[in-house]
Structure 1
Amino acid sequence: MGMEVKETQAKKILTEAKGYLDVGFTHSLNPYSGCGFSCSYCYVREMPLQRFKGIPWGEWLDLKTNAAENYRKEIIRLRKRSKPVIIFMSSATDPYQPMERKAGITRAILEEMVENPPDFLQVQTRSPLVTRDLDLLVKLKGKCDIVVSMTIETDREDIKQIFAPYAPGIKLRLKALKDVHDAGVPTQASISPVLPFTPDFPKLLDGIVNRIWIDSLLIGDGQGGRRSERLGMPELFKEYGLSEWYSEDIHDRVKKYFSNYFSGEMIGVSCNEAFPNFQSLL
């Protein structure tokens, strides 16, 4: 899969939270536009950002080269207005996608955050590359509340290959989550979206997460499942004999199952609950 990469100058880097992020977060932060992981179920495929691009999702990437500079200016401005800054990084891309190894845009942002921290930062990724920045994440933990949330939608590699063949392997993600947790940085496993998993999935997360967040294609695509339908997800589940996992109550069923292994306050469900208080779980 080829990749068209462009350097861009973003007008802003902090975007006021909307939609599902509006419950608890004040801003989203996307160091890139586009995403090299190209997951088949990604709701961004159905957003204007992609629909009018003219290039397939996963085959283009815009690098916001002034992201760190913009963050510094914007956070200082918000501080002057005594505004809380609760950031979700990232909502429409992965801050640790493959190009980050070379571009270092996310790392530059974290360096600025160490000097000018937000009130809270959630790093949302599916990449083990996040461990490269453990030095900065540990420093940032001493200055603000922070959680590293790793997307682990299944514990089955064969299932991952069907839905997200270009994303990092599950074992690598689990190891990265453990490394972050062992470094003292709060962690979350984001089962988002729920994909078929084995009965032992909860055991793999035991002792390496402070919280588990559950999402599904029907409640988490921003349009009540309509985006997922347009992306052909019902047909894909059916093709592989997995239709029972594409149900309206899958998030409730998964929460109930995980509740056999984790306390109730450790488990949240997308769109049903407010911003989680991670500090209470440490």
Structure 2
Amino acid sequence: MNVEIGEKYPKTLLNKGTGFLADYSHSLNPYTGCSFGCSYCYVRQMPVSLFRSQEWGTWVDIKKEAANLLRKELSRAKAKGKVTIFMSSSTDPYQPVEFKEQVTRALLEVMVEDPPDFLFVQTRSPLVTRDIDWLQRLGERVRVSMTVETDLEDIRRAFSPMAPPIQARLKALEQLKEAGVPAQATIAPLLPSSEAFPRLLAPLVDRVCVDDYFMGDGSGGKRTRSLGISKRYEELGLQEWYHPEAYKIVLERMRRIFSDDQLYVSQNGFAP
């Protein structure tokens, strides 16, 4: 798929943490738009997507001069109190364009120079391992959250064909663990998976977050329903997985391997 790359010069980078991210003082998005274009992405139903003529996943805007702007904003924010940052809420900070543009890496460099109290890095991309050097320097002030919605590659392809393969994400978690970078596996949004899923994750992480459309899309599942995702489940004959109680299937499987203090559900798993 061809992705249209644009540029913008934002006036602000740090946005107030609200709603699902109310546990954070700020959210931070290095890009506008996301070329992974996952079919279930709740951002499709947010203004950033709805006010754009192109389909979500076909365009990305690079935020120019982002590091310089963050340097100023971070200093001002820290002068007012505790700063906790969620990166990112409406884009993947390590989508393909980051390989060349390195906006996220530049932002990390700023945060190493002048660390926030906590940084949460949400991604589904193995490219995050490129920045292990900066992440290590943040120590316990950072946590990488690697989205692993399922352990089944055919399911991944059915819902998010442009996203990185599951095996590559598991390998990234392994590398983060070896480097001593705090990380978790985030099963969000939860997709159909196998009983072997917990055993795949066990050697890689000691923290797992389980979330679904109904708890995690910020609207009780309304945004996701408007996307017609239920039809995808019907086509695959997996209707039982599109249900507010389906997350309990995976949670119970995880409990056979992980202890209760290693398992988090929805918003609690994303908190600082």
Category of TM-score, reference length = shorter chain: over 0.9
SS for the counterpart of 2:77 is helix
Look up the equivalent residue of 1:18 and give its one-letter code: T
Identity %: 50
1:19-168 mapped onto 2 (5 Å cutoff): 19-22=19-22, 24-81=23-80, 83-141=81-139, 145-168=141-164
For the 8 Å contact 2:122–2:147, the answer to whether it is kept is yes
Q: Deviations over 1:148-173 (max 9, x none)?
A: 11000000000000000000000000
Structure 2 CA distance for aligned equivalents of residues 130 and 91 of structure 1:
16
Look up the equivalent residue of 2:186 and give its one-letter code: S
* 1:274 to partner: Cα distance: 7.3
The residue aligned with 1:280 is none
* 1:220 to partner: Cα distance: 1.1
* 1:210 to partner: Cα distance: 2.8
- Kindly tell me: are residues 74 and 117 of structure 1, through their superposed partners in 2, closer, same or farther at Cα, counting changes over 3 Å? same
Structure 2 CA distance for aligned equivalents of residues 124 and 72 of structure 1:
21
The residue aligned with 1:258 is 254
The residue aligned with 1:173 is 169
For the 8 Å contact 1:127–1:150, the answer to whether it is kept is yes
Structure 1 CA distance for aligned equivalents of residues 173 and 38 of structure 2:
20
* 1:252 to partner: Cα distance: 2.7
Greater shift in the superposed pair: 206-215 or 190-199:
206-215
1:11-26 mapped onto 2 (5 Å cutoff): 11-22=11-22, 24-26=23-25
Structure 2 CA distance for aligned equivalents of residues 147 and 57 of structure 1:
27
Q: Deviations over 1:65-119 (max 9, x none)?
A: 12211111011111222x1111111010000000000000000001111101110
Structure 1 CA distance for aligned equivalents of residues 206 and 103 of structure 2:
27
Unaligned runs of 5+ in 1: 278-282
Structure 1 CA distance for aligned equivalents of residues 258 and 47 of structure 2:
39
For the 8 Å contact 1:251–1:269, the answer to whether it is kept is no
SS for the counterpart of 1:248 is coil
Asked if 1:2 corresponds to 2:17, the answer is no
Structure 1 CA distance for aligned equivalents of residues 133 and 270 of structure 2:
26
Structure 1 CA distance for aligned equivalents of residues 158 and 203 of structure 2:
28
Structure 1 CA distance for aligned equivalents of residues 24 and 17 of structure 2:
6
Q: Which runs of 4+ in 1 moved over 3 A?
A: 273-277
Structure 2 CA distance for aligned equivalents of residues 132 and 152 of structure 1:
19
Look up the equivalent residue of 2:14 and give its one-letter code: L
For the 8 Å contact 2:78–2:116, the answer to whether it is kept is no
Look up the equivalent residue of 2:18 and give its one-letter code: K
Aligned length, in residue pairs: 272
* 1:276 to partner: Cα distance: 4.8
For the 8 Å contact 2:147–2:185, the answer to whether it is kept is yes
For the 8 Å contact 1:17–1:25, the answer to whether it is kept is yes
Look up the equivalent residue of 1:16 and give its one-letter code: K
The residue aligned with 1:237 is 233
* 1:207 to partner: Cα distance: 2.4
Structure 2 CA distance for aligned equivalents of residues 129 and 149 of structure 1:
13
User: Counting helix residues as a fraction of each chain, which structure ranks higher?
Assistant: 2
Q: Deviations over 1:205-239 (max 9, x none)?
A: 11211311111012111111111111111111111
Q: Deviations over 1:35-74 (max 9, x none)?
A: 0100000000000110110110011111001221111101
Look up the equivalent residue of 2:8 and give its one-letter code: T
* 1:256 to partner: Cα distance: 2.0
1:172-211 mapped onto 2 (5 Å cutoff): 172-211=168-207
For the 8 Å contact 1:189–1:212, the answer to whether it is kept is yes
- Kindly tell me: are residues 258 and 39 of structure 1, through their superposed partners in 2, closer, same or farther at Cα, counting changes over 3 Å? same
Q: Deviations over 1:161-192 (max 9, x none)?
A: 00000000000000001101110011100100
For the 8 Å contact 2:126–2:164, the answer to whether it is kept is yes
For the 8 Å contact 2:24–2:271, the answer to whether it is kept is no
For the 8 Å contact 1:25–1:275, the answer to whether it is kept is no
Structure 2 CA distance for aligned equivalents of residues 253 and 42 of structure 1:
22
SS for the counterpart of 1:95 is coil
